[in-house]
Amino acid sequence: MSTPGGRPVIVGAASPSMPEPTMADEVLDEYTEIFAHMRANDEARARDGDVGGLLTSASNTVSHLSSHFVTEPHIDFSSGWTFQLQNLWHLYYVAGKYCLEDVVAPAVLQLIEISQRGLLARNQINSVGAVEVDYAPVVVRVGNHIIHQYLWQDLPFLVPDMTSYWLQDCARMSGSQRVRISSFWSSLVAASSASWSYGLCRIALMVLRDTLETQRPLVRAGVEPGGEDSENPGRTVDMLTIADLLRAANAWLERAGARITQLCEAGDGNVATRLAIPVPDEVSNPGPLAEAAGVQATPGGFSSARWFFWLRRLDEIGAETSPQGSTVSSTMGGTSPFVRRVQEEKQLARRVTYNMIYTASQSNSTIVQELMRMGRLPLGDL
């Protein structure tokens, strides 16, 4: 099968770089090379900034799947959606990761428009000859949970796949790529109230945990091979500094800060926070610094206590007289490039703090009331 634009829509298997398939389907195994080729082609086009071509391919895929489901009522598609959808979400992932924010903005709109198509439905004749409405079901496995979702309103697999991409790629990305993909995801969250948009906030949890809840140096003492803003396949999460992650955290807090504050305010569980897909413990649990400060784990990962811990950590990082800052100043001199980098990151931390409080202040909540009690609101100048 192929779409009008020439992009094949094939039932195939995952390439080694894909997230683990969320639904077993042995029929897909023989097409591994085809899917790997399609993904490599999408990534090359994303690196070249060909957003228009990528979005045309995505639109063709959505139209093709929809048309075949509606017009072929005798075919059961329930076990055949998995890798076609995962291939589609990979296209959006590489677009958000490699393309500049203003260029990739139409991809945000297109994804929301796909979700707004609602439930994909068709008429079927049942065993007694009556007409029944049949929807497009997809079985999504998340850990030990089995979730039943439907095209197109739920964007099945989008949340677990995007989560997996961040886990596997965040360390080896360049800093600019971390910011771009975080801006892409947070823009989706800010622009949609669908359940999948709440689910994407689990990525914000991971970014904030790695940035603010994990002990790591503020900046790198030396220069990394390839430069500070380079991809590095051998880089691990433990090798990242706060500076490597802080701009990605700021993208989430600035763009989707209202949603994050809302989730922290609700706090108690998946139902209250509209997290239709359960958040695994390894994603939701607080980091070691937050745990040491007494922040308790919650089912969805969000809580007011955690929000205020992030605020305190940003205050610590941005403090002019923090131990880290005073140590490097005394040992390396106030004019060294290293110290200037420390000062830049501290200034950024203060700006992230301002953004975090300012975004929260725009809706009434117990978090805002506590900020007022603490004297952090109303805000002064940065």
pLDDT in tens, the chain (382 residues): 333 333 333 323 333 344 444 444 455 566 677 788 899 999 999 999 999 999 999 999 999 999 988 988 777 776 667 888 999 999 999 999 999 999 999 999 999 999 999 999 998 877 777 888 888 888 887 777 788 889 999 999 999 999 999 999 999 999 999 999 999 999 999 999 999 999 999 999 999 999 999 999 999 887 776 677 889 999 999 999 999 999 999 999 999 999 999 999 987 444 444 555 666 777 789 999 999 999 998 888 999 999 999 999 999 999 966 444 444 444 544 568 888 899 999 999 999 999 999 999 998 999 999 999 999 999 876 5
Task: Identify each DSSP E strand in the chain by its residue range.
Answer: 121-125, 131-135, 137-142, 145-150
pLDDT at 268: 46
For residues 184 and 192, is the Cβ–Cβ distance under 8 A?
Answer: no
Q: Is 108 exposed, middle or buried (0-12, 13-18, 19+ CB in 10 A)?
A: buried
CA-CA distance, 190 to 112, in Å (whole number)? 11
pLDDT at 80: 67
| pTM: predicted TM-score of the whole model, two decimal places | 0.86
pLDDT at 137: 84
For residues 371 and 353, is the Cβ–Cβ distance under 8 A?
Answer: no
Q: What's at 255, amino acid-wise?
A: R
CA-CA distance, 57 to 110, in Å (whole number)? 12
pLDDT at 36: 84
Please give the DSSP secondary-structure letter assigned to residue 288: H
